[in-house]
Amino acid sequence: MSTEPVEILRRHLGYPSFRPGQEDLVRAVLQGRDALGILPTGGGKSVCYQVPALALGGLTLVVSPLISLMEDQVARAGRAGLRAAHLSAGLASSVKRSRLAAAGSGRLDMLFVAPERLEMSSFLAALRPADVRLLAVDEAHCISEWGHDFRPSYRKIGRLRGRLRCPVMALTATATPRVREDVSTSLGLRNPHVEVRSFDRPNLSWWVRQGGSLAERVRDIHRLLRRVGGTTIVYAPTRRAVEDVRDGLAGLGIRVEAYHAGLEAAERTLVQERFMGGACRAVVATNAFGMGIDKPDVRLVVHLQLPGTLEAYYQEAGRAGRDGEPAMCVALSGPGDGRLAAGFVDRAQPRAGTLRRLLAALRAGSAGDGVVSTTSTQLARALGRGSTVQDAAAALAALERCGGVRLVSGRPEEGEGTDAPPSGFLPVQVGVRTRVDLSVARHLRRAAVAKLRAVRRYAGTRGCRRRALLGYFGEQAPRRCDGCDRCCGQPERKFPTAQSLKPWIGT
């Protein structure tokens, strides 16, 4: 097989040429160098490790945060002629053993794993005979406490690189200069080739409109759908909002689907297939939808309200216009939205007082060995009146990040809108440590609050929205872009007319 990157790209992946930034990253790791790539959403990050996997031989180990994303990446690798597999907790033990054996004996080209698996001694032992030629870290912003999707296990990946004599490639679409530095330091990248491509997507226009009640916002979305062709994604903050917006649009005659983590896996797959196949005009979804989605004709992405970080907004809105044709990113924003966003911050990054209260309750119930058997319901009671099992799960996760507890068995349901099981509780065993440093929790909360303030500044800016977004990611931009509501002179309370949309939708 040829080791020339461009020839591999054409023969195996079917692309005539690399996108900006891809080839330099590929050639860096082929020369044995570490690499850090910040490529915008839709910039083709997977190509950056697929081509080296084909050129280097041996095993490429890819760290990826979500099972759904790993499954999509495995499918893409297979289409490129790579023998690829993933490991996840939901697989049968026999399947996991078989895949590990295949990786160790050279019968796999790529293995996708979650960062938590790298902490398992059994996995590391099984990996020892494998000929690992490249360690790729996808969604690398998860390493940084200043990233928008921090995962503590990501910070431990750097320990693995000491065991491997191969280059490391870290990739992400959304990283501020501070996050880039943190990623490089945490992974121990050695004189890496750093490729930071422009965050600007000139074909996207950026709009923020004043939103009213849910019914009013549904009508606004319907008006947009009547004026903009192609496919639309509508992001909503909660499962209930997803279903209410879906029902509202369906009642107005739109072929629309709903997608959130509360649906059965088979139904989520069906919705995604309908979306990709063009069987529906729009999908209303939580942020559970979109990882690995690469549909070229998304002409419109609407946010029912702005998310808690500009990184998340840029990533989600950036699923529009991946074919390079004009597309719109519209966020509806109102005075009451801040309360819901602040509530998400309180849940994801609880205050130190909340954590101390939970820690005291756990210590009071622990046995002599420091292990307490409890339930999600009991944990919620310990937090105080009005707390839910989801609040308890988030607080327990925050204590785990601080090193204050360790989960011996079980794991409470966590995440926005997760349904409690029919019994109303989930059993869990928790090991409680005697000394806890809550400074990590305070730091993460400060970072989350700072990001929320940045979102509010973006929504309220009187200047160019493109300039505000690019400036947040450390990139200079002209004062005017003629591609946002501010530069087009559109009052924030006035909804876009067909004439004002014309440069972006070709009406």
CB 38 within 8 A of CB 197: yes
Q: Which CATH code fits 342-443?
A: 1.10.10
Domain 204-334+461-505 classification at class level: alpha beta
Pairing of strands 427-432, 371-375: antiparallel
Separation between Cα atoms, residue 395 and residue 401, nearest integer Å: 10
187: left (phi over 0), alpha (psi -120 to 50) or beta: alpha
Rg, C-alpha atoms of the chain: 23
Please report which confidence band the pLDDT of residue 167 belongs to, taking 50, 70 and 90 as the band edges: very high
CA 261 to the chain's CA centroid: 14
pLDDT 10s digits, 226-261: 988 899 999 999 999 999 999 999 999 999 999 998
Surface-to-core class of residue 119, CB atoms within 10 Å of its CB (0-12 exposed, 13-18 middle, 19+ buried): middle
Element (H, E) at 84: strand 84-86
Please report which confidence band the pLDDT of residue 18 belongs to, taking 50, 70 and 90 as the band edges: very high
Q: Output the pTM of the full model.
A: 0.80
> How high is the pLDDT of residue 444?
86
Separation between Cα atoms, residue 90 and residue 174, nearest integer Å: 29
- Where are the chain's structural domains? 5-196, 204-334+461-505, 342-443
pLDDT 10s digits, 325-334: 999 999 999 8
One fold for both 5-196 and 204-334+461-505?
yes
Closest to 176 in 3D by CA, of 456, 445, 470, 442: 470
Is 5-196 CATH 1.10.3720.10? Answer: no
**Which residues have a Cβ under 8 Å from the Cβ of 1 and sit 6 or more positions away?**
8, 54, 55
Residue entry with tokens 């529009």: 320
pLDDT at 290 over 80: no
Tell me how far CA of residue 5 lies from CA of 16, 136, 195, 352, 493, in angstroms: 11, 17, 17, 51, 50
> How high is the pLDDT of residue 422?
37
